[in-house]
Amino acid sequence: MHQSKDIAIRPASLSKDRQELIAVLERNFPGPATGFGWRHEENPAGPGWSWVVYDRQSGSVRAMASVFPRRAYVDGKPVVCGQVGEFAVDRGYRSLGPALMLQRATFHPVDTGELAFCYDCPPHDRGMATFVRLGMFSLCEVVRYTYLLRSDQYLTKKFGNGLWTKPLTTGANVLLGMRRTSREIAGLDICLLPGKFGDEFTYLDTIVPSRDTIRTSRAADLLNWRYRQRHDPEISGVDVLVARCSGELVAFLIVVAYRHGRASISDLFGQRLEEVGLPLLSEAIAVCRRKKLIGIDGCCSEKSELQKLLKAAGFRARERAARVVGYARSNVYELASWSARHAEIYI
């Protein structure tokens, strides 16, 4: 391990350091650094910040972290916050020193008043180590819920791929296909959104109450950037289900399908979710079943209204997916509850 005196930190230039930033990401995360330009240059909330830890002797970049601006609401007030991402440290430099340097750097836009607050979503205890050293704690935990659509993968892993497992798998799939969660509501129309998100989504974002809650914005430009402009080779499709009453947008659900055969409920947002949430989830399950996907995942915090809906739809709680740690100059962000779900914790 390298000593702290051998390394230093500096702000990164997206133009001058671009190739080195991408190289650090590709060394530390599997696959190519897809979405780099999308995250840094196309974000409707504005450009972000990046910092690099470099070797004093060679000048080579050995670690990096970024903060991406996100429009949000805190207790009903619109603010701009930041989400920490691209936290990557090369092997051989993964001591607490470089990580602490980077973590402290991510607080800078908050300290200068450029952001109202920033937050990180470490998925494991190792990622919490720097926060523990800084005397910080998680504001909420996000749990993964899952809905099994097909038993093939699970039963093959448990019992092997012998001929005798085929009848077992077929029977289990029939039973899984018999589950239904739909609830009919008079006057409610659910359909797929074929094109871009329009102004009605921005209007819905402004009228959904967010008192005593922290949540990110669902304005149309942000939704289009996130779901219509993103090119990720791991994603096989994005379906947007909209619920309308008398032609007026009430709520929507976004389900993202991945090439490995699973899907995620990326977002479920709107008014009257206690009524329209289950019909939307039921239709999402039907969409994924028609695609012959293995299962669906959903993530949410304990205080999120999505938790009750997922349980009612037959989703089962699994492991903790992430913890949300926030940094602000005011404790209002500790008092408000985080309505965290997939859309909040994954950039």
Q: Is the pLDDT of residue 4 over 80?
A: no
Pairing relationship of beta strands 117-120 and 77-89 according to DSSP bridges: parallel
Q: Which of 304, 104, 343, 63 is nearest to 223 (CA)?
A: 343
Q: What percent of the chain clears pLDDT 70, i.e. is strictly above it?
A: 88
Q: What is the full DSSP assignment across 90-123?
A: -TT--SHHHHHHHHHHHTHHHHTTSSSEEEE---
Q: Is the pLDDT of residue 167 over 50?
A: no
Give 266 or 156, the one with higher predicted confidence.
266
- pLDDT in the model for residue 161: 56
> Would you place residue 175 in the very low, low, confident or very high pLDDT band (cuts 50, 70, 90)?
very low
Q: Is the pLDDT of residue 284 over 80?
A: yes
Which tokens go with 248? Answer: 């007026």
- pLDDT in the model for residue 5: 74
Assess contact for 284 and 268: CB atoms under 8 A: no
Helix (H, G, I), strand (E, B) or coil at 305: coil
Domains within the chain, CATH numbers bracketed:
4-120 (3.40.630.30), 143-322 (3.40.630.170)
Q: What is the pLDDT of residues 205-261, one digit of tens each?
A: 999 988 888 999 999 999 999 999 998 899 999 999 999 999 999 999 999 999 999
* Residue type for position 219: A
Q: Position of tokens 């001929």?
A: 163
Q: What is the full DSSP assignment across 143-191?
A: EEEEEE---HHHHHHHH-S-TTHHHHHHHHHHHHHT-------TTEEEE
Q: What is the pLDDT of residues 99-116, one digit of tens each?
A: 999 999 999 999 999 999
- How does the average pLDDT of the chain come out, rounded? 88
Q: Position of tokens 């915090």?
A: 301
Give 179 or 287, the one with higher predicted confidence.
287
Q: What is the pLDDT of residues 292-310, one digit of tens each?
A: 999 999 999 987 889 999 9
